[in-house]
Amino acid sequence: MKQLWLDFKQRPLWRKILDVALVLFAAAGAAILGAWALYQLGVTNNNGAVDKNYRYMVATADLAATGRADETVDLPSQLQRLAVVAERHPVNARLMLDAIATCDDPLLLDRMLSALAIYTDEADTAARHVNAIPWMAGPEWAALKEAIVHDSALIAEAGRLTGVEPRLIVGCLIGEQIRLFNSKREMFKKYLGPVKVLSVQSQFSYGVNGIKDFTAKAVEDHLQDPTSEFYMGPAYEHLLDFETADHETERYNRLVDYRNHLYSYIYTGCILHQTMLQWRRAGYDISDRPDLLFTLFNLGFSQSHPKPDPMPGGSTISVGERDYTFGAIGFDFYYSGELVRAFPYHRNHFSAEQHALSQEEIERIQDNMSDCTRPERGLEYHQDSAKTAKYSNIEEDPDPFGIDHSKVHPTEHTAQ
């Protein structure tokens, strides 16, 4: 080592600079390769944590498992409880009223009231015109809502194609976007907030929902494998067919599409549906447990182990001065009544419809890839950069899939 140092000192200045540069480049390369290796080995996977409010979530789920007949629901009692909430939290009470007006599930109000109980005892009664759920009271949520509604037709179509209630897909989207909004606050202030668009990831996790490459590949494999515990059935086998032989590049382009997020939502719907089927086949029905579905989406297939008493949670997300889990944020949204006009509640959350896709339908899905070349940094968040997207703006193209949204009503799905 001493001889190396002496040799280095005797070299001319230009050679010393070159040697130092080579060492720095080598160190950077080793760091990148090391991070990539850890990622591929799954060392960076987040095993998550149990949410501190899991008892509220379990209690809310128990309301759905009681098996009460519709005619035994005490509506006057429900409305009396809602009136009590309205005294302190009129914003939340109004959202609940809107929700039950668009859904024929008589237990929905009970479950919404139970979910809100996490926050009603601690909320500031002086802030009567602010959402009682703390993370929904900030500017991030106000901006994010508008961005999500712009994609409502895409999310509805992804829900139809994957047999999943669109509101569940949105719950996964919100968990990831709230995490990004708060980890990239400067970007939010400069681009995402003012323009109100979704953040798209392009490193390690991809797209608006932060789906990892190996997770996306697993989704595709499950679709094609009738022996898999995650298999969705023959009707879905060609849902994610590729156009080219370069599946890795095409998969990346599907997910990292700044102008059209349909594929991100399709992969999300498949993950939810496949996970639900895995648990059902093991003897545990979590189709009516959005808290668990969001948690398992966040943790990934490798952490999905069916068992009798699962606990919701997932990775920790800090919003303001408070920590939440991924599962809790999705749960809060799902039962909040927010965005109910765009994403109404379905009485059952997964469809048993077995409609095999025609070649024309497969090609129509594949046509939903825009020019995926990454724009100049920040430009992807400018409003005019989205105008070339086929289905990017619901206001400009309100009916991209032949859906008359003015006539859309909550549909009755039959669970598998």
Q: Which residues contact 205 (CB under 8 A, 6 or more apart)?
A: 211, 212
CB proximity list for 355: less than 8 A, separation 6 or greater: 235
Is the C-alpha dihedral spanning 71, 73, 74, 79 positive or negative?
Answer: negative
Which amino acid does the sequence have at 187?
Answer: M
Write the burial class of residue 133 (CB in 10 Å: 0-12 exposed, 13-18 middle, 19+ buried): buried
- pLDDT, residue 354, reads 72
**The pLDDT of residue 49:** 81
Alpha helices in 46-192 (DSSP H): 54-64, 75-88, 90-101, 108-120, 139-150, 152-162, 166-183, 185-187
pLDDT at 112: 95
What is the pLDDT at residue 187? 59
- 306/391 Cα distance (integer angstroms): 38
Do residues 349 and 415 make contact, with C-beta atoms less than 8 angstroms apart?
yes
CA triple 162-401-194, angle to 5 deg: 90
- Give tens-digit pLDDT for 10-42: 667 766 676 666 756 665 555 444 444 444 444
Can you give the pLDDT of all 416 residues of the chain as single tens digits? 555 556 656 667 766 676 666 756 665 555 444 444 444 444 344 556 888 888 888 888 887 665 555 556 777 888 899 999 999 999 999 999 999 998 888 889 999 999 999 998 765 555 677 899 999 988 788 889 999 999 999 999 999 999 999 999 999 999 999 888 776 666 555 555 555 678 888 777 899 999 999 999 999 999 999 999 999 999 999 999 999 999 999 999 999 998 899 999 999 999 999 999 999 999 999 999 999 999 999 999 999 999 999 999 999 998 888 999 999 999 999 999 999 999 999 988 998 777 789 999 999 999 887 655 554 444 444 444 333 334 333 333 333 333 343 433 333 333 33
Side chain identity at residue 48, one-letter code: G
- pLDDT at res. 320: 81
**pLDDT at position 356:** 85
Contact 329, 178 (CB under 8 A): yes
CB atoms within 10 A of CB 406: 7
Judging by beta carbons within 10 Å of its beta carbon (0-12, 13-18, 19+), is residue 27 exposed, middle or buried?
exposed
CB atoms within 10 A of CB 28: 10
Distance, CA of 134 to CA of 136 (rounded, Å): 5
Distance CA 55, CA 192 (A): 34
